[in-house]
């Protein structure tokens, strides 16, 4: 009642501006609901439709994993319970060249479409960190190597970098730098490396330094 009385005392132009602002706010809220693709949940909902377990091989999964609510293009929603991998790393990222989402559940990656309850692809179990490049790609840090996810959802793994563990990774343009663990070197257990995600060339790394290099020398038993 008091609001109505105050509005009667305002000029017509002021009332029009207030009305437009309220309509704009409601319109923005509706638009956010329409464009929202997912919501990370604190736990599985106790009421409503049953959640759907999402696993690599579509096997049953009843323990609480990484719960996410997806919003379909028709306005409806469903709750996914992702089976986690071996770490506590959980994140979701939108891919720019597609409607797909990159879901990291406990170190395991699921490429999902909000309209579908089955994953498009599943890979990895031990991812611990993620980097986003300037051209909208993602670089996932594993325990011994890297996985690059393209903007359309395709992915590939680099060659092995470390014997066991990566440390202090940094992204600079198309280069990933950091240190790899060498358990066989008591003096210097951290070996520096640089990986170019465009050329797919690895420089350094603890695993690569123990490769058996082929030579053009003939075996000693061949004398001709």
**What pLDDT score was predicted for residue 180?**
96
DSSP element (H, E) containing 12: helix 12-35
Of 17-31, 136-150, 165-179, 186-200, least confident by mean pLDDT is 17-31
What number of other Cβ atoms are within 10 A of residue 14's Cβ? 11
Residue pair 49/89 in contact by the 8 Å Cβ criterion:
no
Which residues, in sequence order, are CB contacts of 103 under 8 Å at separation 6+?
Answer: 66, 68, 82, 91, 92, 109, 110, 111, 112
Average pLDDT, integer, range 74-87: 97
For 170, the 3-state DSSP assignment is strand
pLDDT confidence band for 61 (50 / 70 / 90): confident
**What pLDDT score was predicted for residue 207?**
93
Higher pLDDT, 75 or 214: 75
pLDDT tens digits, 157-171? 999 999 999 999 999
pLDDT tens digits, 98-145? 999 999 999 999 999 999 999 999 999 999 999 999 999 999 999 999
Q: Is 26 exposed, middle or buried (0-12, 13-18, 19+ CB in 10 A)?
A: exposed
**What pLDDT score was predicted for residue 155?**
98
CA distance between the termini of the chain: 108
pLDDT of 194 > 60? The answer is yes
What phi and psi values does residue 31 have, to the nearest 5 degrees?
Answer: -65, -40
**What pLDDT score was predicted for residue 215?**
46
pLDDT confidence band for 3 (50 / 70 / 90): very low
Q: Whose structure tokens read 């903007």?
A: 151
Share of residues in the chain with pLDDT > 70 (%): 79
Mean pLDDT of the chain: 85
Strands 138-141 and 77-82: unpaired
Which residues, in sequence order, are CB contacts of 147 under 8 Å at separation 6+?
Answer: 109, 123, 124, 127, 139, 140, 155, 156, 157, 158
Of 12-16, 85-89, 167-171, 212-216, least confident by mean pLDDT is 12-16
């Amino acid at each position: 009642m008091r609001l109505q009385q105050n509005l009667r005392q305002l000029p017509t132009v002021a009332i029009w501006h207030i009305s437009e602002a309220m309509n704009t706010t409601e319109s923005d809220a509706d638009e956010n609901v329409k464009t929202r693709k997912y919501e990370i949940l604190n736990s599985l909902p106790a009421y409503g439709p049953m959640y759907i377990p999402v696993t690599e091989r579509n096997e049953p999964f009843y323990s609480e994993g990484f719960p996410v609510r997806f919003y379909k293009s028709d306005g409806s929603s469903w709750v996914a319970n992702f089976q986690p991998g071996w770490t506590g790393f959980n994140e979701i990222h939108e891919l720019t060249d597609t409607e797909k989402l990159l879901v990291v559940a406990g170190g395991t990656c699921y490429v999902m479409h909000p309209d579908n309850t089955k994953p498009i692809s599943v890979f990895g179990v031990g991812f611990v960190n993620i980097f986003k490049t300037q051209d909208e790609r993602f670089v996932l840090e594993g325990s011994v190597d890297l996985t690059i996810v393209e903007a359309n959802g395709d992915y590939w793994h680099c060659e092995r970098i470390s014997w066991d563990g990566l440390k202090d990774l940094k992204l600079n343009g198309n280069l990933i730098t950091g240190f790899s663990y060498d358990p066989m070197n008591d003096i210097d257990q951290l070996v520096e490396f640089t990986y170019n995600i465009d050329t797919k060339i690895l420089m350094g790394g603890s695993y690569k330094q123990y490769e058996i290099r082929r030579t053009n020398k003939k075996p000693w038993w061949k004398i001709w």
